Amino acid sequence: MPSFLDRENTIAEPGFSRWLVPPAALAVHMCIGEVYGFSVFNVPLTRIIGITQSVKGQDWTIPQVGWIYSTALIVLGLSAFVLGKWVERVGPRRTMFTSACCFCGGLVIASFGVAWHNFLVVWLGYGLVGGIGLGLGYIAPVSTLVKWFPDRPGMATGMAIMGFGGGALVGAPFGVELMNHFKSATSVGVQEAFLMMAACYFVMMNIGTTFVRVPAAGWVPEGYVPPAHAKKLVTTSNVTADEAIKVPQFWLLWAVLCLNVSAGIGILGQASLMCQDMFGVTAAVGAGFAGLLSIFNMAGRFVWSSLSDYTGRKAIYCVYFILGAVLYCLIPFTQRINSVAVFVAVTAVIISMYGGGFATVPAYLRDLFGTMQVGAIHGRLITAWSMAAVVGPQTINYISAYQKEHGVPKSEAYNMTMYIMAGLLLLGLLCNLLIKAVDPKHNFQAAPQGGNA
């Protein structure tokens, strides 16, 4: 008996509005995007025993807790790589439901780990099981939207990935409010917050699961005429996921994403501290600056990726890399003139392009490899994100710490890293310029039907 979750039961009926699919995608991405707000749990997780302060030798440390977050992002990339073809085979509804079970189930497991003060259980729940939910929930809505919007793939992927970037704007204050509500003389409120978030996110994600649809074979938007011939860097054919990783275009685009993300995530992860060290502002102002960057990160995912529908994907990445490199080189200048306003403006544009790079890459993949297995190919590509999550923050952390330890004033300790980030972007520009259309010999050829028995 066919299941509600089966792919054939998600094929849209005639007259179905494709504009119902973006809200379904956002429902999932806004929930799993909570991972970007995990930092609100960092300090409370180091006070499970001491409640008001950390007990040395008994409570966990900040570096230990940091591994929960890092593991979740690493597993996101790895699970998307391994399960990408399964996502294409079973369809978005089953995948999104599985994502909800893993992500929310991971929160439940983590809550038990907090109650038992067992770090391994928390790591297993949020980092490993929850990370699988992140990977599945990230790629399924994106590949579905690409198929619904062949006329505006950049805008479509921007709508979904904007939700992931903005998940912390909801998830972080939600987590704080829940902890404040549940905390007591014997609890910091994390265990109860994880359970409540699991319940709320499970309902929200499955609302998206219910409404998601895939277009019927051969469907095109009203008034849209698919091009008869491939345009430059926009194919009308398809390449399988297994074949895609054999061509240089895949690995050039892998490097493009890795280098763009490495530069942006380095600032995003240290935004508050950078602002305090460079300009001597208060922690509250630094936190406000970090929140502002989150808004630009979210907005950039929609604005830049939508713009790429008009400029082309290769051109928009050239803008990300050239303009980004110039702006990184300007950051030390903003410190020298002691202008917080110019610093905020420069970094806001940088982070908007960081978000734009995330949102544009699925459309770039669609242009190069077609839509047939774009979700699986995207899953393999975002292992670049896992690499960047290590390269970017660690580069800034270690070099700035080295500078401070060797007598460089805190206000100037980040200058060298900004020039290094600019260098990474220029290297990304070179990779982007080398991308050409995929050789037709790699295109998928359907097996001939019929023939003699």
Q: What are 120's two structure tokens?
A: 């391994």
Q: Positive or negative, the Cα torsion across 221, 223, 228, 231?
A: negative
What distance in Å separates the CA atoms of residue 372 and residue 237, rounded to the nearest whole number? 9
Number of C-beta neighbours around residue 441 at 10 A? 8
Continuous segment of H or E residues that includes residue 260: helix 248-279
pLDDT in tens, 187-215: 999 999 999 999 999 999 999 999 999 99
Q: Are 45 and 39 in contact (CB under 8 A)?
A: no
pLDDT in tens, 270-313: 666 677 778 887 767 776 777 788 889 889 999 999 999 999 99
Q: Are 379 and 81 in contact (CB under 8 A)?
A: yes
Q: What is the pLDDT of residue 412?
A: 78
Q: Are 171 and 297 in contact (CB under 8 A)?
A: no
What distance in Å separates the CA atoms of residue 196 and residue 198, rounded to the nearest whole number? 5
Quick check: 358 pLDDT over 70? Answer: yes
Q: What is the pLDDT of residue 171?
A: 86
Q: What is the pLDDT of residue 287?
A: 64
Q: Residue for token digits 């987590």?
A: 175
Q: 214 pairs with which residues across the strands?
A: 11
pTM, 2 dp: 0.83
Number of C-beta neighbours around residue 345 at 10 A? 14
The mean pLDDT of 121-125, rounded to a whole number, is 97
Instruction: Classify residue 11 by its DSSP letter.
Output: B
Smallest Cα–Cα separation from 29: which of 150, 158, 146?
A: 158
DSSP reduced 3-state for 187: strand
pLDDT in tens, 224-275: 877 766 577 888 888 999 999 999 999 999 999 999 988 887 777 666 667 7
Q: What is the pLDDT of residue 405?
A: 80
Q: Are 122 and 110 in contact (CB under 8 A)?
A: yes
Ranges 98-107, 157-166, 194-203: which has the least confidence? 157-166
DSSP reduced 3-state for 214: strand
Q: What is the pLDDT of residue 283?
A: 67
Percent of the chain with pLDDT over 70: 94
What distance in Å separates the CA atoms of residue 194 and residue 184, rounded to the nearest whole number? 16
- Return mean pLDDT, the chain: 88
Q: What is the pLDDT of residue 285?
A: 75
Q: What is the pLDDT of residue 293?
A: 81
Q: What is the pLDDT of residue 1?
A: 42
Ranges 272-276, 328-332, 446-450: which has the least confidence? 446-450
Q: What is the pLDDT of residue 172?
A: 83
Q: What are 330's two structure tokens?
A: 């300007």
Smallest Cα–Cα separation from 157: which of 308, 349, 15, 316?
A: 308
| Helix 415-433 / helix 383-405 crossing angle, nearest 10 deg | 150
Q: What are 22's two structure tokens?
A: 């973006």
Q: What is the pLDDT of residue 215?
A: 93
Phi, psi of 411 (to 5 degrees): -65, -20
Smallest Cα–Cα separation from 113: which of 78, 65, 50, 74?
A: 65
What burial letters (b/e) apply to 206-225, b meaning 16+ CB within 10 Å?
bebbeebbbbeeeeeeeeee
Ranges 39-43, 78-82, 93-97: which has the least confidence? 39-43
DSSP string, 37-50: GGGGGHHHHTTTTT
Give the range with max mean pLDDT: 157-161, 262-266, 269-273, 395-399: 157-161
What distance in Å separates the CA atoms of residue 71 and residue 130, rounded to the nearest whole number? 10
Q: How far is CA 165 from CA 26, 28, 159, 355, 359, in A?
A: 11, 12, 10, 7, 10
Helix and strand tally (H, E) in the chain?
Answer: 16, 0
What distance in Å separates the CA atoms of residue 227 and residue 231, rounded to the nearest whole number? 8
Domains of the chain (ranges, CATH numbers): 1-218 (1.20.1250.20), 228-440 (1.20.1250.20)
What distance in Å separates the CA atoms of residue 84 and residue 379, rounded to the nearest whole number? 5
